[in-house]
Structure 1
């Protein structure tokens, strides 16, 4: 199946470059382009793409509001949104993830990671650029809504805590499976259980919860493997 994408960026040269990169992938096709957030939302609602690729800073409607309109908690039939930006330490990025974005990439992430992020979002997964995951979430974990983080409806198991740490460090499902010596389907089962227990809509919210509860701290490394 071909993954349909709507690309929105106010810089024509960036928008053209992203479109060329995505269209060069055999399983991805850009079905619409927009130079501002308002047009992006209109296109997305009309075309119903598999993935929306939104820049953070756009005129008319910014990437945060566009993300909220397409993927927010009040959206009955949300679309998958990946946020792409030049700024890796920007308060707007955290807000976009809170608004429902399934991924976050820097514009210099490269062709391979861009394709991975789009495919992950289309599959219902999420990907944050591993190079900035820890720094981003640590920087903004304390800037979310006031009050204590929500507690899980059931205690997390030891394995779930391990998977949680891996997700918060930006690991993909395949990397977690390899590191923990478990199958890919088992990883997906654990992540689904984490989302259910935490009331999270996606793994991005799972990662943010890990930082908000100090389960992952600055300098965190790969989770230890069970023997």
Structure 2
């Protein structure tokens, strides 16, 4: 069956042209939307990068500030540590000058003191493992009272070493006996005693180790030789 088109040919051309223009316009609008989306995405990424840069800058500034504060804190801790050390030295139960005075009182006049060294040991906080071992040791010991021995590591004490020269072994023995009878000194140990000669004079050079317990409270009379009270 034949179809008869009564529309003029010019109208059909205009209609086809209009449809083509509409399609092209739709494509252009779609392309514009795509470009707009890309631009918005790019702007968003640039904004995110800027925010990251700002956050990174702030983090760097904060890290630098923390580093400066840490240095200040370390300096303050060092200063406080020196103050605490000085206060401990001044507030300990017996001072080094008192120990030297007591030692000079006990040594006979025939003994010459060559060298003396005093090291103060202060108690430090125990780690968990050390505390656990100590607790287990207490359980194994039960209720027995365990006396301190010279092999035990002492804390809160003054470790002392001194060298001297005596005329003979008898005077060295008297020195050790005097120190042993004094309540201020404990764990007295002789490191060596050997003969020396100087211009035909024979003597004995000796070295002793001992400790002074700082956990005790000493009275002036006790430092002078009266009975010790812990």
**Greater helix content:** 2
Between 1 and 2, higher relative CO (CA 8 Å, sep ≥ 6) is seen in: 2
**Greater strand content:** 2
Greater Rg by CA: 2
